[in-house]
Structure 1
Amino acid sequence: MGVPKKKAGGKKKPARAPQQLTAEEYFENAEMAFAMENYDQSRNNFKRALDMEPENTEYLEGYGSFLAEVGPHTEALAVLQKAAQLQPDEGFEKFMYLGQLLEGQQAEQAVRKGITILKRYVQEQAAEPAAAAAGSAEDQEDDAQQAASLKDHLNSLLASALCALAELLMNQAQEAGEGKLEGVQAECEALLGEARAMSPTSPEPLQALASFRQHQGRDDEALTLLRESLALWFKPSPVSDSEGEEEEDEEAAAAAAAADAAEAGPAAAGGGAAAGKASGGGEDAGDSSGSEEEDMDVSDSDDESDEGDLMPSYEFRFETAKLLLELDDTVEVACQVLEQLLDENDSDPNVWLLLAMCCQGGGDLEAALSAVEEGIVLCKKLRLPSDHEIICSFESMQTELTSMLDAAAKEKEEAKAAE
């Protein structure tokens, strides 16, 4: 057939160049992709923005923060240090991230720099409403609300930064050896006291103070503070249907036992009537309970968005569970915190490992082994090397738990045979 010939007199359309985004558009796309956890797309867009404007400190800080979260950390360090050199007196976030990436004195200096910038922001914000008092009453009310919201936000950020510095000082003292904590105790107390004053409704200063008390060997005080922190955000998991059915079965068995006992006595008829009345009352209570549960569901749905706003970060709650496991005699709350984390995101092997430890500590060996097996599957999915520390921990626990369960089963069989 050959190639078809063009019609005579036809004009060739000019090739259309692909639309070029601006650096700002690439940066906005990068942040949106980061929020959606599309890390490859986010990384590519950050790089395109910086290729066009390599010394834009906003883009450098954004990309550096992204790298600090998802890696590689060596590149994050280089990007954030460049941003700090270009703009050393603005943007506290980059210094807080540098505090996490650096070590020793450099880390401490970075965090202190971030706190200095934040305190200046707080002071500047406090002076703004007085300077902007002119205007209509409605405008002044709007300005006052915005100022109050910004004040709360900045105070919360500053409280978090003060806690970060206190924890850094504690960890450095602990690594330095026994007796070194005494040298930083006074400053840590002052930092955490200031943090609590800045944001009284935040659970973070209380949990940081609990950790500090634990470092001091004051475990009872630490647990009390941790429970105060938990009370600000933790909502216990509702009783499952299976657990509710077990409770109903126990109540029915107790009622049957009471009826049997009544029949054996001289007032059998009265006992039977009482049992029947109790049974009827139980049904009424069940109906009432159902309506109450419906009311609670409505209330829960109304408050769901508020609770989401108050919920601490994933990492904060993981540290809560770790502290609970170390301080509390029971593991129920720690297990619930970890299970709630897994409901949100089940792709962190560390959460599975800590849950396995909680279950083992509570004597539920089968649940512990199940958590270990889930963790091993996840590690394979993440393609972690076979000699990775967390895989070794999982495998060690798997061997130990399997041995314990086998021994328990053997002991049960022997006891049954002896009967």
Structure 2
Amino acid sequence: MENSRAGAAAAAAHKWKFQGNDGLNTASALSIRSVLNMLNSNIDQNDTRVVVPLGHGDPSSFPSFRTTPVAEDGLVDALRSAKFNSYSSTVGILPARRAVSEYLSRDLPYTLSPDDVFMTVGCTQAIEIILTVLARPGANILLPRPGFPFYEARAAHCNLEVRYFDLLPEKGWEVDLKAVEDMSDENTMAMVIINPGNPCGNVFSYQHLKKIAETARKVGIMVITDEVYDHLAFGSTPFTPMGVFASIVPVLTVGSISKRWIVPGWRLGWLVTNDPDGIFKESGIVESIKGYLNISSDPPTFIQGGVPHILSKTTDEFFSRIIGVLKETADICDEKLKEIPCINCPNKPEGSMFVMVKLELSVLDGIKDDVDFCLKLAKEESVIIMPGIAVGLRNWLRITFAIEPSSLEDGLERMKAFCKRHTKS
């Protein structure tokens, strides 16, 4: 016993040279997952009610959002074929790349090649790749505010400076194009747009996307377009891919099967160069993407093997059903939020799975800010909502409506009761 104590004391006295990377902790604190973990830890364990998750964009556990059997069959057939048990090419297997190029080309005025497509571990790896490729000393990138915090976290991780342009609620969350022009300099590499919008639930019009392309061309930067919610549009504005304007400005598209097919856990995404003028090849972007993929993980080969079946065989009936449910829940969200006095919803959502609403703190008693609101709502009502500061707007809230309609109504009723309890007399 005394020998073990002496050994422990000697180990404690020894000076070790290794330590954790504090930068990773800082970047992680910016993530949606870390905020959701904080809120979930604040749930009252004595509350017997079901927790209503209005804070994330994963509706896959709800019956109304079950993926199509076509997608399931595609994966099963690929796995059982025994054709996809080997390593993947670093850029992705050719059948998957060809299927994605054909799928995306349906909406474009030109035809993509399989060589324009790089398969990734979900859309998040596609984001990680392009931000790392663009990172060099002094470089900066323009991000939307509010936006998806993973971009900020990854930029911080690879020392890429971030500058923010605002999305304007009074204009349906359009991009402040003057700000984009004013803040760009010789070290600006790209601007990011998310369409349909996370977190705002907006869908950019054809005309506005063209203006974005013209602004980016004027200042000499590429457009990175996050289209993970592609075609999830149910309002008056149809979805238009940014790649339509690749003859004006080179466009990098990131996307995945996660949202449209309701399978975020399958982790299958893509990075696509929309570049009919060959600008990405001339500037070395394509070679840098390939270089990154040579030292990173690949998406599972059998999931890639299922992609041709999934993308070509899924019926319009499935897509229409999902759009119909999202429209129903967006309507419920819009109507219920009007009943809550401390909430101001500037725009009814027209796409994706989210809506941004302004928190009117002046009418509330004992609520300091959006984080305090969400922590207390979780504790008192077992309802999880994302504080706006997590996506770049203090004292706003991001609410997802991609859950079962009855659960959404229940959650918003609890939120209304919470607000009534905390409203100043």
* Fold shared per TM-score above 0.5: no
* More relative contact order, 1 or 2 (CA 8 Å, 6+ apart): 2
> Could you state the TM-score of these two structures normalised by the residue count of structure 2?
0.24
> Could you state the TM-score of these two structures normalised by the residue count of structure 1?
0.25
Give the helix-richer structure, 1 or 2.
1
Give the strand-richer structure, 1 or 2.
2
